[in-house]
Amino acid sequence: MSQINMMSKVSIIGCGNSGSKIAINFANIGYQIDIIDINYKNLMKLPQNLISEGYLNPMVGNAMNILELKNLIDPDCNTCIILTGNDSTNALISQIFKNEFNISKIICKINDQITNELYSNLGFITINQNDLFNKKLLDLFESN
C-alpha cells in the first residue's frame, strides 16, 4: 500500500453503497478518509484493516446538524464528498459546507436533473447517477 497522502484530507458523508465503496477505493490508494454516517451499522461494513492502519476514520453523526458537523470535520479537510441516498439531504449538507466551512471542493450526488443543474450553477461539483449511466450506455453502443 502507498504512503498516506497527507496533502488530501477527504471527508465523505454517507456510508451507503456508493459512500462505502468510494471510501474504500480512495483509502486503498493512500488517501486519508473521514467517513460520517448517521447510522453506525452502515459504518460496520468498512474493512477493519483500513481503519486500524489509519486510512479510514469512521464517525457516527448527523451531518444536517451544523454544530455536530463542526465537531466532526477535520479543520484540514479540503475536499468533501456528499453521498447520502437523498437529493435534498445532499443539497442541505453541501450548502452547510459552503456556508460554514472553509472547504475548497464540495462534491455532491444529485440525481434529479433540474436540482443537479441548479446546484452546479450555485458552484457545487455535482454528480448525476442517471447521466453517468446514460454515458456508459452510449459508450457501449458506440463501441459496437
Q: Which is nearer to another protein, 25 or 130 (CB)?
A: 130
Q: Please, what's the largest Cα pairwise distance for the chain?
A: 52
Q: Which is nearer to another protein, 123 or 144 (CB)?
A: 123
User: What is the C-alpha separation between 62 and 121, in angstroms, rounded?
Assistant: 26
In the complex, least distance from residue 115 CB atom to another protein, rounded to whole angstroms: 6
Binding site for another protein (CB under 8 A): 64-67, 86-89, 91-93, 95-96, 99-100, 112-115, 117-118, 121-122
In the complex, least distance from residue 123 CB atom to another protein, rounded to whole angstroms: 12
Q: Which is nearer to another protein, 60 or 112 (CB)?
A: 112
In the complex, least distance from residue 121 CB atom to another protein, rounded to whole angstroms: 8
User: What is the C-alpha separation between 123 and 30, in angstroms, rounded?
Assistant: 28
Neighbouring C-beta atoms of residue 112, cutoff 10 Å: 14
Beta-carbon contacts of 5 under 8 Å, excluding residues fewer than 6 positions away, are 29, 30, 31, 32
